[in-house]
Amino acid sequence: MYCIKEPSLDLHDFIVAIFIALGEEICLVGAFAFFTGRGNIENIIKMLNEDFKEYPLQLKLKWDKKARIISKYIITIWLMWALLYAFTPLIKSLLGDAKNDDSVKRELPFVSWYPFDTNQSPVYETMYFVHTFGLQCGMVPVSVFYALFLILTMYIEQQFEFVSNSLKNMKNLRNKMPPEFKNTHLDSSDTRSIYQNRKEDYQHEPSISFENIAESVSEGAGVKRAGSVDKAKEVQRQYLRTCIQHHISTLRLVDELNDVVSIMVFNQLFITTMMLTGIAFEASNS
């Protein structure tokens, strides 16, 4: 409407109007992605609470701290940018008022056309508040989306690293087990002694707890086959199964996240391409 009704429209104003329309489209798509992906987000939260139970407490607290820092940083950056964008035209208008130049049009945050004069008070102040409020509301879903995307990406990366460290620790522990513990029955105290004696080999890297798995094997089905099964291998098999299950849960988390963010990421790529094209077009005609 602005491009049609504005009598003195130039190329710069036309490009700015397109950019604003594209920015509004990003906000709408972000809100739509959250609305349609509520089920996936609930599944992601449920998986993080139920499917990943092998974290050391210290590691989990470290991840939670990183997530809080990322969310606060991203949301603050987006909202500060929105405030800066909103108050820049106001500063220009105040400078124009200080010069007593009534011929200068008082700018609003968004280039727009209205069937009434927005230069006069209190119409100008009212419309300025409406634009600023709408800008902040539009930034909320976008900032939350990017914060959620970065936090979950960080969690997924940490899950793969966690599984990798667990597999490395399993190999190191297996290679350094004393020979007297192989092809013999291990009770709970034996497995605990292995864990304590070899703990220095892998405690520097957070991984799945070997102690818990070793005790569960000794107290479970492995006891019935005492003396005929290499109990160290039984512990290793159970440890490997736990790593595989953790890896599968991580892949399920990736699928759930992809269902939520794929439309937003594609839309962001499209909008970025359009904006870069518009900037290049304006620069080539300046």
Question: Above 50 in pLDDT, residue 203?
Answer: no
Spatial separation of the C-alpha atoms in residues 141 and 83, rounded to whole Å = 16
pTM of the model: 0.65
Mean pLDDT, rounded, for 258-275: 82
What is residue 200's DSSP assignment?
G
Q: How many CB atoms lie within 10 A of CB 79?
A: 15
Preceding omega of 206 cis (within 30 degrees of 0): no
Q: For 11, left (φ over 0), alpha (ψ -120 to 50), or beta?
A: alpha
87-92 long-range contacts (CB < 8 A, ≥24 apart) are 89/128, 90/128
- CB-based contacts of 144, cutoff 8 Å, min separation 6: 34, 75
Name which of 108-117, 216-225, 234-243, 263-272 the model is least confident about.
216-225
Residue type, 245: Q
Between 215 and 76, whose confidence is greater?
A: 76
Mean pLDDT, rounded, for 268-273: 82
pLDDT band at 253 (very low <50, low <70, confident <90, very high): confident
Question: Above 80 in pLDDT, residue 2?
Answer: no
Question: Above 70 in pLDDT, residue 219?
Answer: no
Question: Above 80 in pLDDT, residue 244?
Answer: yes
Give the position of tokens 């970065």: 150
Q: pLDDT of 52-72, one tens digit each? A: 666 666 677 777 788 888 888
Average pLDDT in the chain:
71
Give the pLDDT score at 187.
47
pLDDT band at 224 (very low <50, low <70, confident <90, very high): very low
Give the pLDDT score at 201.
46
Question: Above 60 in pLDDT, residue 262?
Answer: yes
Contact yes or no for 206/168 (Cβ under 8 A): no
